[in-house]
Structure 1
Amino acid sequence: MTRAVRSEAPTVPLHSAAPPRARRRSWVTRVVLGSVLVGLLVVGGTAFRVWQVARIDDRRPVDAVVVLGAAQYDGQPSSIFAARLRHAQQLYDAGMAPRIVTTGGGRPGDAYTEAEAGRRYLIRQGVPAGAVVAVPVGSDTLLSLQAVADRARQDRWGRALLVSDPWHSLRARQMARDSGLDAWTSPTRSGPVVQTRETQIRYIVRETGAMLYYRLTHASVDTETTGLG
């Protein structure tokens, strides 16, 4: 009797391995998407912190109220600067500190520095001359705060309440702390920077980029016209 011979058909795998080139493309795609997601989280988180700190008035008794400089014109503070100075005076009158420190240098040809213009303004408003200290150094926020920190060490004080515009608060506070000051913020709620929703959004976007730049470089964004350098 002849036995039937059964032929075995070759087995074909249901899922063949992807070629190396396809695997590389898939890996690169995942890395790119992951990097984009992390970048969005970092930017979004920073923007949220700018917005969050802008809403906080962290006033408390300190050694000095420090007013960050802005534009001045022949000794007359700009509207942005004047709003900060008025807020600093309110904090001084409320007993938050025994002194106000005005900051900011000047451009070539200026008769006054920002710090000097701020000091003159506060004295005209009735703040005792002995309670206003001008630190006329620095063309941006970081340099000004480093100069204030040097003056604080010289005069043996270290706790500061920073006055600037709301959206500037997070970066200014970080710079002050990095310079060696125990710093908190009390932003002004008046002035051109806080008047319209469009202006607020523009400054939040700008400050988000400036804060990320500072974290990467530990340098300040050069902005001579806004006082938010």
Structure 2
Amino acid sequence: MTTDELRFSYKKNHKRRRFALILAIVIMAGFLWTAVTAAGIVDYADEESARHSDAAIILGAAVAGDQPSLVFRARIDHAIMLYKQGTVGNLVFTGGSAGPGLPTEAEVGRDYALAQGVDPARIQIETESAVTEENLIYALAVGEAAGFQTYTIVSDPLHMRRSMKLAHQLGMDAAASPTRTSAYETWRTKLPFLARETVLTMGYTVKGWMSPSR
């Protein structure tokens, strides 16, 4: 090979090695970020505040007809416990309908709470939301109209970190109160939930970085 050919080959190989190194660093950084995010979600799962709030916001979950799913029931039961303890003064149920003519998650939650003896005057609902961010946005609008200023967010333990992150981004004066029981009891059921929460939490973090307000 000539000197020019050797020089060209060296530069080509050098570029390949540099690209491979950069790619390896990016992949390692991605794995590290994912691991740190997942660990933070698990660590936050036991975070709970005992403060009094004007209202508990119960994040919506699936329903079966006019009955809450096991996941949703655990959230409702926890909120009712807080209400009966006097930790929260009101309940705000969230969640829309899975289809035309079907009851909304919020309505099912309200009816369940009424059957447990909760004062109807202490219940507010929003029936438009489909995802966690909308749960909080619409619940905040309902709460502001009712004069609420402080909130306790009620959901499953592994759902709390993302929920609180969104609540704070919305400017809510919010505290966390994860359910003490959950349908996600074993790691076989927890891992898919954790994986989903990790991806969504990372997505909202990136969304925050790209926000024009930053």
Are 2:145 and 1:154 equivalent residues in the alignment? yes
Number of corresponding residues: 201
Pick which of 139-148 and 19-28 moved more: 19-28
Q: TM-score of the superposition, structure 2-length normalised? A: 0.86
Q: Is the 8 A contact 2:124 2:142 kept in 1?
A: no
Q: CA RMSD in A?
A: 1.9
Helix, strand or coil at the partner of 1:186 = strand
| Per-residue deviation, residues 25-71 of structure 1 (Å, max 9, x unmatched) | 23212211211121111111110111011122233211211111111
Residue in 2 aligned with 1:214?
Answer: 204
Residue in 1 aligned with 2:19?
Answer: 28
Residue in 1 aligned with 2:116?
Answer: 125
| Per-residue deviation, residues 178-197 of structure 1 (Å, max 9, x unmatched) | 2231222111121312x212
Match of residue 101, structure 2, among 78, 98, 110: 110
Match of residue 51, structure 1, among 32, 42, 52: 42
Are 2:171 and 1:200 equivalent residues in the alignment? no
Q: Is the 8 A contact 1:74 1:110 kept in 2?
A: no
Q: TM-score of the superposition, structure 1-length normalised? A: 0.81
Amino acid at match of 2:198: T
Larger radius of gyration: 1
Q: Is the 8 A contact 2:62 2:105 kept in 1?
A: yes
Alignment of 1:80-95 (within 5 A): 80-95=71-86
Aligned-residue sequence identity (percent) comes to 30
Residue in 2 aligned with 1:70?
Answer: 61
Q: Is the 8 A contact 2:56 2:90 kept in 1?
A: yes
Amino acid at match of 2:186: T
Helix, strand or coil at the partner of 1:139 = coil
Amino acid at match of 1:92: Y
CA distance in 2, matches of 1:153, 1:24: 58
Whose helix proportion is higher, 1 or 2?
Answer: 2
Structure 1: give runs of 5+ residues left out of the alignment. 1-17, 219-229
